[in-house]
Chain A
Amino acid sequence: MLLGTISTTLFLLLRLSGDPAILIAGEGASPETIDAIRADYGFDKSLIQQYFIFIWDICRLDFGISLINSQPALGFVLQYLPSTLKLTFLAIFFNTILAIPAGVWLGAKPGQRRRRILSTIVSVAQGTPAYVIGLLLIQIFAVWFNVLPSIAGSGTWAWVLPTATLTFALSPNLIRVVAASIEETTAQDYFRTAKANGASPSVLLLKHSLPNALLSTTSLLGAQFAFLLSGALITEFIFAWPGLGLILVQSITNLDFPTIQATVFVVAYLVFFVNLFLDQIFRFADPRLRKSQV
């Protein structure tokens, strides 16, 4: 369903946006060349026919040949998938271990001065786009102190800045969500009862607060994962990171339509599976949902 919509949107976008044959041939190409390209790519058929050919190609996972390097577009794109995935997992990992403790600390006793300072910092950081963070980190660590490489490809250290950028870009949001749900539980009756019965702070936290925070946290982490697959675009561009984002930007600059199609499709596919996976996790994590299903 989702994939169908995406492919239809893509098709309409790519086919109805002026004559693709002219785009491929470049300006000033002779009419014969343009006609040849048109026949080659099947642009001379009717739109309906083209659409079915397009869908058939997608079903066969055939996105055509990249216009730039003459490789099959899908294989070319998939080569870059692992490095994007690695970056995504690293960022999610560090995000989790940084943001959840911070969120718990912040949410346990809101209103304290120390915590309000942190929460102000967090809300400023939340409004800072990832590429601004990336640029500032490069400026500080690569230009001024010259301790970390700013572009990809030079060993383990090259991972530090991109990961840090994505972590700092994602964590404010997560911190706030965790803090909000912890704060919310402290206002609940069952929490007060437990506290009045003399439950120790750690029991209160582990047994009563955290499980409640699990739901919103998981849902946000899933959204962030989906965001990273598409939104790491800009971060990958800054650090010249060889991943899906960089490929997408490059193929767009070069008007390499088969590669654009393949990239968008791969990302949409991943996002789709992440969402599917999340639904299962929810059913597992939230007894209320399980009950309503039965």
Chain B
Amino acid sequence: MKKTLMPFTRRDISIKKSTSPVILKFSAAILTALFLIAIFQSFLYTVDPAFLDLDARLLAPSIGGPWLGTDALGQDVFSRVIAGFRWSLGIGTIGTTIGVLIGLSLGIGAAWSRNRMRVILSRIIDIGISFPYLIIAVTIVTVVGRGFWPLALTLGLVCWPTIARVVYAETLTLREREFVTAARLFGIGSFTSIVTHILPALRPTIQVVTAFTFAELLIAESGLSFLGLGAPLGTPTWGNMLNDSRTYMAQAPWMMLGPVVAIIVTIFAANLLGEGLNAREKSKSGRVSQ
């Protein structure tokens, strides 16, 4: 009886509210730990990741020995997975920063400007969105060359459209809000208004988008390295290691294990952070949005 009258009990709602901070803390903790690994990686090596030992090729994982095994050149898989953190997280961070900066300025610019300027800017965003960006990234990387900085800059330069679109939509509603209009009537200039009113109001959105972009760039980066188009050959990155492991799937399946776990955990943590932030924002504003 009660159930038909109130199909949505308090429990349904409370689950959502109580889980979001836990998710947030949990994912933030994992990500912090991963970044610490990337920064202090040299303390964690058991063996130098570049050290070749041709007598110890394709060793199976063992306690006391190389505990994630060794690869075809006798390099220690564990050390190389650890070394991969700096590469992946570094590229992810730089790329995301660039992408967010471009997306933010284009999005706000498009929403703030009027008439023809807005049409042009929002058209640029539309075109960017329908661009198959992985293919463009692949092409740029071929031409510019492999390596850390080319990859980080390229990914940063191709990932902004989604960010720009979200920022654009959000700014468009914000600029019609009372406090922004009030500021305009008080004669406060566009720039000041953007910095003091729009940017702080956009902060939750930007946080969410940043987390998701970061995860996406990690996938793109390791994918490019996996294709042999990202990291220079021999660099210890997860994509490279997975590519190497393809040849030895029958003899040495453990070569895959380390990088696979590292990739999944990192991307999962970043996605979870984005979801946690999203849930927090929603429960705060109390609105149901897509």
Contact = CB atoms under 8 A, between A and B. Distances in A.
Contacts, number: 126
Main secondary structure of the interface of B (DSSP, over half): helix
Interface in A159-218: 180-181, 184, 186-187, 192, 195-196, 216
A248 interface: yes
Contacts of B242: 131-132, 135
B219 interface: yes
A237 B215 contact: no
A271 B132 contact: yes
Contact of B7 (A1, A14, A135, A195): A195
A229 B130 CA distance: 12
Interface size, A (range): 35 or more
B138 interface: yes
Interface in A210-244: 216, 226-227, 229-231, 233-234, 237-238
A108 to B, nearest CB: 11
A264 B4 contact: no
B229 interface: yes
Nearest to B12: A111
A174 B155 CA distance: 25
A184 B288 contact: yes
Nearest to A136: B260
Given A187-B8, A230-B134, A10 B139 contact: yes
A229 B132 contact: yes
Interface string A252-282: 1101000010011001100110010000000
B227 A124 contact: no
A17 B134 contact: no
A96 interface: no
Contact of A129 (B136, B256, B267): B267
B140 interface: yes
Interface string A100-144: 000000000011000000000001101111111001101100110
Interface of B: 4-5, 7-8, 11-12, 15-16, 123, 127, 130-132, 134-136, 138-140, 142-144, 215, 219, 222-223, 226-229, 242, 245-246, 249-250, 253, 256, 260, 263-264, 267-268, 270-272, 275, 288, 290
